[in-house]
Structure 1
Amino acid sequence: MTFTGIEILKATSSQPTAALVFLHGTGSSGLECKTNFMKFLGAHGHKYIDIYLPTARERYLKIQDKVTTFWFDAVRTGSDNMDVEGSTKDADEVSAKLEEIVSKIEATGIPRERIAIGGMSQGGMVSVYAAYVRGIKVGAVVSISASFPFHNNSKFLPKPTVPLLSIYGQQDAFIMPRVMDAVWKLFRMNKIPFTPKSLVKSGHPLDANYAKIMFEWLEKRFALEEEDGY
């Protein structure tokens, strides 16, 4: 089982018209992310986007040598910051579970082109994998504080069309700026239609600036013809 449960932050509207499946980073949980989003959104949900927040199961993570919550196992293959390889077996399992969640949301009446997947750190990394390696059909992808440790053991699908928002904080203590430069170069080489955002004062954890940029970007993708009453 990839995750242990799903928290849901319902939209303030009685009829949500879009959804976001957001995966937490290593050591965190869906509940922690939900609490943060409630703080960033003023203790309320988004006006028309339902937010689904799974929690990864707890197990032993090799790269950190401890038991914690995480989406895929990873090992260090060298001394350089880029020398990390993520488990594609785990990433395939998470991708399958994401497809299940997206399908269930779609069954509620929200079309796939109005459903986004994404997350923090490992959550963002595996969301990129799910969309551009495994080919999950969604309307958008968000990757925050996330590199791409599958670059040596996976291959992007050709002709990607799903838009991606990749947000990075220059104070990130885990992912160096040159690593993100290399990741963005990789995205460009594979013609992923992505928007890079680099924030001077943000670090690795989810903060209000990351959330603000993410929701503003999603609102442009999922804009309603008439937002009165939302």
Structure 2
Amino acid sequence: MCGNNMSAPLPAIVPAARKATAAVIFLHGLGDTGHGWAEAFAGIRTPHVKYICPHASLSSPFTNPLCSYRFDIISLSPEAEEDESGIKRAAENIKALIDQEVKNGIPSHRIVLGGFSQGGALSLYTALTMHQKLAGVMALSCWLPLRSSFPQAAASSSNKDVHILQCHGEADPLVPLVFGCLTVEKLKSFVDPANVQFKTYPRMPHSSCPQEMMDIKQFIEKQLPPIN
């Protein structure tokens, strides 16, 4: 846990309606908190699944790196420099959160990791560089960070055949659809292409929509079925 006076708040959690046998960890975008996404998941919840929506630190990511998953976005152009150390540090923090759930009794292969925008970028990078096997990844309105380091960075990952749901709004002005298209092509070059779904939504800006939430619900139910 975070151990100084600048601790990030505890995650927003939607508890399972019965005994939790699976979990979704979902990372919000820049300048947001986990509360809105927790509310969205409460509307599509599956009874045996626990939903965990951590809050990134609102302070600088360098103030208290143990309690933040934020990293600096320098530019979104394809040739832009990226905050490599911040991304890697943030990924380690998410892996620690997954480890905590495993200690709580939910195995990693019963965990779906996901996120929106910056959180989606981080969920992709984390999943594709970790040694524990995940049930799936949901990458919404985002991009693959440090993409020039792949597929080498994924060489030792346990998630080369992970199921990925990637979603993007066709009217996104902040992370244009072309970033989603470039990302899905890159993913298919080192993840089993049959396991990568890419869904786009007409007129959807940098946000979510009811159809996307239904697609998310179906993906979660397929990757995290109930167990007896």
TM over 0.5: yes
Corresponding residue to 2:201 among 183, 199, 202: 199
- Look up the SS of the partner of 1:214 in the other structure: helix
The 1:156–1:200 alpha-carbon spacing in structure 2 relative to 1, beyond 3 Å, is: farther
2:182 — aligned with what?
A: 182
Q: Within 2, Cα distance between the matches of 1:16 and 1:29? A: 23
Report the TM-score when normalising by structure 1: 0.81
More strand by share: 1
Corresponding residue to 2:107 among 108, 111, 134: 111
Would you say 1:72 and 2:68 are equivalent positions? no
Q: Within 2, Cα distance between the matches of 1:31 and 1:48? A: 20
Report the TM-score when normalising by structure 2: 0.82
Check the 8 A contact 2:95/2:130 in 1, yes or no. Answer: no
Q: Within 1, Cα distance between the matches of 2:20 and 2:11? A: 18
2:12 — aligned with what?
A: 7
1:36 — aligned with what?
A: 40
Check the 8 A contact 2:46/2:221 in 1, yes or no. Answer: no
Identity, in percent, stands at 20
The residue type equivalent to 2:162 in the other structure is: V
- Look up the SS of the partner of 1:109 in the other structure: coil
Provide structure 2 residue ranges, at least 5 long, that are not aligned to the other structure. Answer: 62-67
1:163 — aligned with what?
A: 163
Q: Within 2, Cα distance between the matches of 1:116 and 1:57? A: 22
Provide structure 1 residue ranges, at least 5 long, that are not aligned to the other structure. Answer: 62-68
Check the 8 A contact 2:136/2:164 in 1, yes or no. Answer: yes
Q: Which of 20-29 and 189-198 deviates more?
A: 189-198
Q: CA offset at residue 134 of structure 1?
A: 4.2
Q: Within 1, Cα distance between the matches of 2:29 and 2:144? A: 14
- Look up the SS of the partner of 1:183 in the other structure: helix
Check the 8 A contact 1:72/1:86 in 2, yes or no. Answer: no
How many residues are matched? 211
Deviations 1:77-119 (A, max 9, x none): 8xxx434443221222222221222122122222211111111
Q: Within 2, Cα distance between the matches of 1:115 and 1:169? A: 25
Q: Within 2, Cα distance between the matches of 1:96 and 1:136? A: 13
Q: CA offset at residue 162 of structure 1?
A: 1.8
